[in-house]
Amino acid sequence: MIRIPADGILFHGGYTAIKSIDLSKCRDGLDFGKGFYLTSSLKQAVSYVPASIRKAKRRGLIPDDFSENNGVVSVFHFNPNAELFIHYFDEADTEWLHFAACNRKYSLFPELRKKYSMVDIIGGKVADDQTAITLNNYVSGAYGEPGSERADRIAIELLEPERLKDQFCFRTTDAVASLEFIRGDRYDRIR
């Protein structure tokens, strides 16, 4: 079952510490839409640091000679707020697949984007680099028409959902306000 851990500790791997979250700088087109993504897995956050650095270099946000060792895992504490609307996808099932697909290609499953548009925090399985390839193939119709029984079955089987870790997308200012920055740990000291 996907839930924010009882201790409320969540991690974000990147090229710099994120002490103040600005949702306007968050990218669209990710699994659960635009928002600030965290995980309960320190190992998973650490594994995202090199990819974050590569992307930041391509976008010109950091110099080409920026060392991977200077990457940071930001550690946050989630302070629950009863007014936040939270949804968890407990399994990598058809609805999870369709929701991730509609956030990557807006013409797919608009009813799901509308259904979850008011959710402050969405949690569920993460599509890592390997599964992102499967999701992109699904969205492009490589397994058949997205939403068809055949395409859904193939994509879910290829995703190997039992191996996927968690992610939590904080999508609103109220959601972000529930996060307290604790510290930033340098990549070279924790990997």
CA 158 to chain CA mean position, Å: 19
| Domain positions in the chain | 9-190
Tens-binned pLDDT, residue by residue, of the chain (191 aa): 678 999 999 999 999 999 999 999 998 888 899 999 999 999 989 988 999 999 999 999 999 999 999 999 999 999 999 999 999 998 888 999 999 999 989 999 999 999 999 999 999 987 666 677 888 899 999 999 999 999 999 988 887 655 668 999 999 999 999 999 999 999 999 97
Residue 99 dihedral angles phi and psi, to the nearest 5°: -70, -45
- The 8 Å CB, 24+ separation contacts for 103-107 are 103/28, 103/29, 103/30, 103/31, 103/32, 103/33, 104/29, 104/30, 104/31, 104/135, 104/136, 104/139, 105/139, 105/146
Q: What is the reported pLDDT for 157?
A: 83
Q: How far apart are CA 86 and CA 114, in angstroms?
A: 15
Q: What is the reported pLDDT for 162?
A: 53
In a 3-state reduction of DSSP, which class is residue 158?
helix
Q: What is the reported pLDDT for 163?
A: 60
Q: The whole model's pTM is what?
A: 0.89
Q: What is the reported pLDDT for 107?
A: 93
Give the per-residue SS3 of 4-46.
CCCCCEEEEEECCCCCCCCHHHCCCCCCCCCCEEEECCHHHHH
Q: What is the reported pLDDT for 134?
A: 86
Q: What is the reported pLDDT for 98?
A: 95
